[in-house]
Chains A and B, each alone.
Chain A
Amino acid sequence: MSEDFNDNKTIQAQSSETISGGGGSGLSPDKDYVRPAEISEQDLYHGHSFITKWVFCQDAKVIGVQYFLLATFTGIIGLILSWLMRLQLGFPELAGFMTAEHYYQFVTMHGMIMVVYFLTALFLGGFGNFLIPLMVGARDMVFPYLNMVSFWMFFVAVGVLLASFFVPGGPTGSGWTLYPPQAILEGTPGSGYGIMLMCISLILFVAGFTMGGLNYLITVLQARTRGMTLMRMPLTVWGIFTATVLAMLAFPALLVGALMMSLDNVLGTSFFMPTILKAGEVLEYGGGSPILFQHLFWFFGHPEVYIVALPAFGIISDLISVHARKNIFGYRMMVWAIVGIGALSFFVWAHHMYVSGMNPWFGFFFATTTLIIAVPTAMKVYNWILTLWRGNIRLNTVMLWCLGFIVTFVNGGITGIFLGNVSVDVPLSDTYFVIAHFHMVMGIAPLMVIMGAVYHWFPLVSGRLLDEKLGKWHFWLTFLGAYSIYFPMHYLGFIGVPRRYFEMYDSPYMTSAVGMNEFISIAAFIVGAAQLILMYNIIKTLKVGKPAGHNPWKACSLEWLTPSVPPEHGNWGDKLPIVHRWAYDFSVPGAKEDFITQTTPPSEVANTEVEKT
């Protein structure tokens, strides 16, 4: 404590010096004063061998990159599975090796991998770990050891998940929603070992995530640097923070559901299993409720959508603001929208179950709550485009991803209004319209954010800027390709083509759509292959990329203000930064440059018209 105390004295002395030097600027000496540190310096474990430095590492930045790489690896597996599915749907004659069992297994694994093991892990584990300590001005996460264990739990969870490809019966093919009774009955592929491993893997994931999540929450709540109030945090942190709160409260339902299903499967309990007749014989189950599982699953499943979406909302706000050189419009509204969406997301889960056979009177309640969520979400969209309005927009690759995000997200958000509105959902549910909707809104839109974030923060990880030209090719192929996959797909849903059909034979609805299926498949292959451009770009940049230097984007937020780029373990060298303003002071009238960093004390920019600090 004594050190911090001294530190504080010097700062006060410095600031009064500046004031006196300013000569009658009318500022009181307190203007630059920031309260002394409450907490003594964090005690960090610095690794010294290869294993403690890069494998079992306790540095949140390394853990973030580890999460990122492993999530990307599983994501690529998910991508390959989607290719195989599209091959079957578009060109069944070329996919002779695929049986219906395979197809449903791929559907299931693709869904689960992309939602949980790719997007959730990447946003919270990857970006959360890397950015939270840097953005709030902490030296590291508050429990580095727990953080490390969190990643390795995730590693084991992924291992168990992938192991299910190699067990008798293969991975589960019950759809990513894992609905019982079919998930654990013969007639569904992988109903023995496959579903078992899936449940175990999910339980491990939840356990691992809880460890990480506790870290993110406490770091944001209790380990901010001096001057960093909650309302000065970048929206990225707000998004990840709120998403983590959701995850901490929603994952328990998944854990309980997965546990009960494993018991039904292994011990023969009947939590979710009513009396069932299979092949003329009555099974030894009875008295359970399949809909109970759906409630548990969607009580997790809907917040899960926002667990992916909220970090994306936060990150995109920061990217747009930095690259439009303009403060994010309506910061307070943005924060309240994030928190409001998060809170509301716990009251809408049954809109996934309008035609599930639950009491139909629930429909009124859940349709209303669901459409209420549309209001804060729409406000966020307005604020993004109003941030562009009268900005000074750099049309670089990062900004392109942001614009792509706005188009796909608005598109997917509006189809969400169709599906949330109970009677409109009836004809559309379980058709390709649903597939198109959720891929647009929580597949492509978050992917756009991830890509934008990769181009934006890659310099911070590696110290080098990614190639712009390759980046633009990557963007246009991905964006145009993905849009042409999912935009026409809505119309398949209008025709009435049900989802999860292995083959589209003989029905009038299906034969009429054959041309479209082929087109969609080709687009899917192109989009997938386009991701190779990014890999090439990264490899090339690591070798010969342009050095980024300090703060290449001229951003205001703390992560760019570390003494060394890329930041070292402990982030801030000798002294923690002191924050004087929010993260969005771009283009302030009267300032010399078009940005004022968060650490700039008011006395240094005395003649500017800063409205909010």
Chain B
Amino acid sequence: MSDPKIEGYVLKPGFRGMAEDTGSDQTMFKGVHWGKAMMWIFLLSDTFIFSCFLISYMKGRGSTLIDWPNASEVFGLHVFGVEVPLLLIAIMTFVLITSSGTMALAVKYGYEKNRKMCGWLILATAIGGLTFVGMQAFEWSKLIHEGVRPWENPFGAPQFGSFFFMITGFHGTHVSIGVIFLFIYAYKTFKGHYDEGKRGWFTSMKGDYVEIEILGLYWHFVDLVWVFIFAFFYLW
């Protein structure tokens, strides 16, 4: 996107521009929507939550006396008589990353006021998210079936189960909340609420396509966090 135009103010590039924006009146991030700025700061806070989880996980994994289970065995999938390690998780990751792509396109079409395309792409993103959550539910039930519980684990250290269910559960909750909002936003897009600036049910704020970008930020963040969880649980 091009830089916003601000009357009586010249935006400068680089560090100098940043310093000048900081020192100026009214806003620090020139032309940035309030909601967008809020989402960035919320995500920063959320990053700290996930960091705390993952650091605790590292500490827990480091200090337990019993061996940690081998990820490629535990997460292996038996397909057509062959043991394929990390198959399900590869598909899940692929689906989630793809949904990030559709989300980005939805934002683009949103700003072009292409209501139809935008709506369909949001819907596609929501379905991608739903697939991810569904596959995660499948993986959970598979592990539970094999006897893994938050408090015990037949493959090794019980902390494996505790951390796995807690962290993927927390992430899965993020995805689920995102999916719910995606469906609502898809509905609102198709209904044209963003074109007419119809007021929201709760907040009574006027609708605007920027909301889709804000939700998009959240969605990309959830994907990014997944990459870390993936690396920490499945590849370590």
Contacts and interface: CB of A to CB of B under 8 A. Distances in A.
Interface of A: 5, 34-39, 43, 45, 142-143, 145-146, 210, 213-214, 217-218, 221-232, 248-249, 251-253, 255-257, 259-260, 263, 267-271, 284, 286-289, 292, 296, 299, 579
B64 A252 contact: no
A228 B6 CA distance: 17
Contact of B27 (A146, A217, A222): A222
B59 interface: yes
Nearest to A224: B26
B44 A249 contact: yes
A213 B56 CA distance: 25
B41 A217 contact: yes
Contacts of A271: 56, 60, 159, 162-163
Interface stretch (B70-78, B121-129, B185-193, B199-207): B199-207
Contact of A218 (B23, B37, B59): B37
Interface stretch (B47-55, B82-90, B97-105, B221-229): B47-55
13 contacts: A43-B206, A142-B34, A143-B34, A214-B42, A218-B37, A221-B29, A222-B27, A224-B27, A227-B25, A252-B51, A287-B157, A287-B159, A296-B52
B150 A267 contact: yes
Contacts of A43: 205-206
A35 B9 contact: yes
B119 interface: no
B25 A268 contact: no
A270 B151 contact: yes
B33 to A, nearest CB: 9
A299 B121 CA distance: 41
Q: Give 5 closest A-B pairs by Cβ, nearest first.
A: A252-B48, A269-B162, A256-B52, A252-B49, A145-B203
Interface residues of B, number: 51
Given A222-B32, A256-B56, A288-B60, A214 B38 contact: yes
B49 A256 contact: yes
B24 A229 contact: yes
A248 B41 contact: yes
Nearest to B6: A38
B44 A221 contact: no
B231 interface: no
B7 A288 contact: no
Contacts of B37: 218, 221-222
Contact of B44 (A45, A248, A260, A287): A248
Nearest to B65: A287
B180 interface: no
B56 A260 contact: yes
Contact of B38 (A218, A229, A256): A218
B64 A267 contact: no
B25 A35 contact: yes
B30 interface: yes
Contacts of B46: 252
A224 B29 CA distance: 12
A225 B161 CA distance: 52
Contacts of B52: 252-253, 255-257, 296, 299
A218 B26 contact: no
B32 to A, nearest CB: 7
Interface in B4-49: 6-9, 22-32, 34-35, 37-38, 41-42, 44-46, 48-49
Contacts of B27: 38-39, 221-224
A136 B231 CA distance: 44
Contacts of A579: 25
